[in-house]
Structure 1
Amino acid sequence: MFLRFLAFLIPAMAALSVAARPETSLPPTVAKALAAAQIPSSAVGVVVQEVGATTPRLELNAGTAMNPASTMKLVTTLAALELLGPAYTWKTSAWSNAPLDNGVLAGDLVLRGGADPRLTFEQFWLLLRQVRARGVRQIAGDLVLDRGLIAAAEADSHFDDKPLRPYNVGPDALLLNFKAVRLRLVADADKQTVMALAEPEPVNLDITNLIKLRAGNGGCGDWKESLRADLSQHANRWRLVLTGSYPAACGEKIWNHGLLPHPAYIHGVFEQLWRELGGSLRGDVRDGAVPADARQLGEIESPSLAEIVRDINKYSNNVMARQLFLTLGIESLAERGRRPARTEDADAAVRGWLDSRGLRFPELVLDNGSGLSRRERIAAGNLARLLSVAWQSPLMPEFVASLPLNAVDGTMKKRLNGNGITGRAHIKTGTLEGVKTIAGYVLDRNGRQQIVVFLVNHANAGAAQAAQDALLTWVYESAR
């Protein structure tokens, strides 16, 4: 009788053992889409694993170090939530040790940067209003910028040959408005002109608009491809020349640029707003520190880290991610502000946190924490492990809610709308030339959460979206 039981038990256990092993063959729909894109399976890293399971359901090249593009933001944002807490905020303030008499500040006004990732034009206006409300009208000295929390070298960030693109803006302790100038292009068919309306309007920036209106009955198409922007410096002023043609069918469009070095941008926007508030600045702009005997004239506080993380992941904001990464370095220093934080400080902080959570990623390469890098590396299997740890974290709700929701918002807004999967995948995306990645969670049709990671590193990676969407659909539909 016992032998009969063993005869039944041993094959059953063997079957369970086989079932526990991850599948290594891609689903047919995924394999077909990759073949159509001419991407070999050797160029992808894939993991599918149910939350709480001990082994993956599907695994391919999971241990290979790959460029994750913006899915690296998952590492930075989860580390920040757990190290800093969801209520963490940044502060930007105004100071002076000069006497104030009849509206005249007889000395310098100092702006102290707190490395705020989202110091907007509107918030900066509120800070200057506070200074104005304290009775300051004319600043007889200089505008001094205290940018000492972040090393100056970190601001050099030209990732490619497109330095004016917003994604190329580098971090700064006094990052203002993402260093952006928003150009609203307005086609006027009657006058056969194209207006370019700037916001903000830094007083040290001159814009020369030479854009021609292009007639035709065709659609708007990729209108940016026919436009060009060139920035040049002339003494203490800057000139932006706009050339090319703009289709009349486009109507109004927004064309964003990251312009000027950080100090020049702050100076130009400060002068614009300060004049609008009825103030004047007699001196120049320079770097410096808040004097020990200075008094505070105003302060503004950022939104909470939970909200900042949502912006970073939903919209894949690179400079915000870099600011957050360096904030981990700032807070890790034995004495905050003792010296400017550098990338290596942030790197050490993240690795220390990973170690504390039992996550050892020997292949991990952190360059700036945003994924806008040719150097950053992580394996698909370890990215899946990170997502597993995140799901067990007390801060899981804040983290998961920060991820783009398919067919609803962020970088997944236009993907996977229909077939029951709408709104069931929280997925961080990543794109670079030669890199296409996704990582996150899918709620399958049986109500189980599935971790999904799909990294593609190949010259044809730009064509990999169909394969990635096919995998997400397969995970949703093929629930066990």
Structure 2
Amino acid sequence: MHFGRWLHTGTLWVGLSFLLGGCASVSPTSTPATLDHLLADPALNGATVSVMVRDARSGTTLYQHNPRTRLIPASNLKLLTTAAAMDVLGPQYRFSTQLLSNGTRQGERLSGNLYLRGLGDPTTQFADYQALAAQLASQGVRQVQGDLVFDDTWFDAERLGVDWSQDDESTYYGAQISALTVSPNSDFDAGTLLVTARAPVAVGQPVSVAVSPATDYVQLSNRAVSGAGNSYAITRQHGTNLLQLSGALAPGKQSRQWVSVWEPTQLVANLFEQALAQQGIQVLGRRVIGASSPATATVLAEHQSAPLQELITPLLKLSNNNMSEALLKAMGRKTANAGTAAAGVAAVAGFLQRQGLDPATLSQVDGSGLSRRNLVSSQTFTDLLLATSRQPWFEAWYNALPIAGNADRMTGGSLRYRLRGSAAENNLHAKTGSMAGVSSLSGYITDANGRRLVFSMISNNYVSDAAPIRAVENRVALALSQWHE
């Protein structure tokens, strides 16, 4: 996320500095005319904007601008996915990863296949796979006489969402989706590896590179050197796990980047085989990818994630795409016994219908909002925000939203640098969304009279960079925090 300085003299007030997302002082009260003036900002010239503001208790509309115009929502779509997941899966839902066998024990030997079965958990880390191997070793198993089978069939084999951009392929936020995956960190960026490059002090020398978790599943082509210019970059070649490092990194500095892998199930296989070897467990058979565990197999060890009501915090605060896609497919698996995005979208539609909302008013194709085929209006988002406020799990969901101006990363999330020192600080709970030509902000804010409002602002087709658009969003939020009728 980029934050820059912004100054504009044509609105009702003069902006001071948005370097840290702060807002200028405003007049004591705001009205619909205030919002009209803000939306006339030159940064929005030629853009399409949908805005709606409503009373959170009564649902009364306080302001609207193209409220039914469907636009690309970017990560605001996660509001829809997570709310539906809390309803469909339930706040106590946990993902699971299981170690099973259909064989028999003969002393230290397991006669039969060993299955590692993934049920979609995007939070599993290498340490969790090591713990599963340790549980097997604690049962006295030292040799598996059958195959080692990696079962990722809980979800389908579609690794990417509909119409995801090709240039996102190697990024952490465009990582492939698998029911059997691994995260390198507590942010749960599943399907990625952390690549750390360090530049030596001597100019022109190659950077040193470390990959975490340590694995030979990826190969390195390292042409990056120590030098001026800040041109260091890393990409993954399409269809491979060849990581290409290029450019210059400042002498003595380091760079940490999360890079997605091709076929995350295979990465899990590589790491779990390491974990078994660490425990002195030998597998005599083959590595098998993508076969189903037999119904007669016995669970030998299991790892479970935290409950969903806790997982939505890193998901919403940090806008985690892979977690969102896992929830979508998990909903499909529960409602239609199909771990597909399409089944998940149908489950979301069912949630909307139960809330009295019409799913035909929007188009959803993925869970994260990374696809440009998603189309949602600000009215639909405010309908959703009103509906969620009536749910028994609302407080957990509301607190999981980013909170403006709060410096704590797992509190402020993607809003932690915005609206500091303003009436919206620690007041605005909202989800951000951003991609090229798209910015969105939807959530809850309390006005000058202590009344909670729901609002949504979606902007598409602007040609400036994102900073001026976020500045307008900040001004809108600030105006709402000082709304008075």
**What's the secondary structure of 1:415's corresponding residue?**
coil
Q: Determine if contact 2:441/2:473 at 8 Å carries over to the other structure.
A: yes
Matching residue's letter, 2:158: A
Q: Determine if contact 1:107/1:139 at 8 Å carries over to the other structure.
A: yes
Unpaired runs of 5+ residues, structure 1, are: 1-21, 217-222
The one of 418, 435, 438 aligned to 2:438:
435
Q: Determine if contact 2:161/2:366 at 8 Å carries over to the other structure.
A: no
Q: Who is 1:183 aligned against?
A: 195
Does residue 247 of structure 1 match 2:285? no
Change over 3 Å in CA distance of 1:344–1:241 after alignment to 2: closer
The CA deviation at 1:184 is 1.9
The CA deviation at 1:23 is 4.3
Q: Who is 2:361 aligned against?
A: 363
The CA deviation at 1:413 is 1.2
In structure 1, distance between residues paired with 2:469 and 2:327: 29
Q: Determine if contact 2:59/2:386 at 8 Å carries over to the other structure.
A: no
**Number of paired residues?**
439
When structure 1 is superposed on structure 2, of 102-111 and 347-356 the one drifting more is 102-111
Q: Who is 1:204 aligned against?
A: 217
**What's the secondary structure of 1:248's corresponding residue?**
coil
TM-score, with length taken from structure 1: 0.85
Q: Determine if contact 2:432/2:440 at 8 Å carries over to the other structure.
A: yes
Q: Who is 2:58 aligned against?
A: 53
The one of 269, 272, 275 aligned to 1:270:
272
Matching residue's letter, 2:87: E
Matching residue's letter, 1:264: Q
Q: Determine if contact 1:93/1:300 at 8 Å carries over to the other structure.
A: yes
Q: Who is 1:14 aligned against?
A: none
The one of 282, 295, 300 aligned to 2:298:
295
Q: How does 1:126-275 map to 2 (within 5 A)?
A: 126-155=131-160, 158-177=164-183, 178-189=190-201, 192-215=205-228, 223=230, 226-231=232-237, 238-248=241-251, 251-275=253-277
In structure 1, distance between residues paired with 2:246 and 2:282: 34
Does residue 68 of structure 1 match 2:73? yes
Q: Determine if contact 2:152/2:265 at 8 Å carries over to the other structure.
A: no
Q: Deviation string for 1:282-328 (max 9, x for gaps)?
A: 42232212224322211011110111212221111111101101111
Change over 3 Å in CA distance of 1:141–1:203 after alignment to 2: farther
Which structure has the bigger radius of gyration?
A: 1
Unpaired runs of 5+ residues, structure 2, are: 1-30, 184-189, 407-411
The CA deviation at 1:415 is 1.0
Change over 3 Å in CA distance of 1:447–1:253 after alignment to 2: farther
When structure 1 is superposed on structure 2, of 385-394 and 126-135 the one drifting more is 126-135
In structure 2, distance between residues paired with 1:142 and 1:127: 17
Q: Who is 1:9 aligned against?
A: none
The CA deviation at 1:190 is 5.4
Change over 3 Å in CA distance of 1:427–1:294 after alignment to 2: same
In structure 1, distance between residues paired with 2:161 and 2:438: 23
Does residue 474 of structure 1 match 2:479? yes
In structure 1, distance between residues paired with 2:328 and 2:168: 23
Q: Determine if contact 1:51/1:450 at 8 Å carries over to the other structure.
A: yes
Does residue 455 of structure 1 match 2:468? no
Q: Deviation string for 1:418-477 (max 9, x for gaps)?
A: 123221111100111121001001123432211121100113263411110110111112
For the aligned residues, what is the CA RMSD? Answer: 2.4
Matching residue's letter, 1:165: T
Does residue 26 of structure 1 match 2:39? no
The CA deviation at 1:82 is 1.7
Q: Which has the higher helix share?
A: 1
The CA deviation at 1:277 is 2.9
Does residue 321 of structure 1 match 2:324? yes
- Identity of paired residues, percent? 27
In structure 2, distance between residues paired with 1:395 and 1:296: 32
When structure 1 is superposed on structure 2, of 132-141 and 424-433 the one drifting more is 132-141
**What's the secondary structure of 2:425's corresponding residue?**
coil
Q: Determine if contact 1:155/1:172 at 8 Å carries over to the other structure.
A: no
When structure 1 is superposed on structure 2, of 292-301 and 85-94 the one drifting more is 292-301
Matching residue's letter, 1:175: T
Matching residue's letter, 1:291: P
TM-score, with length taken from structure 2: 0.84
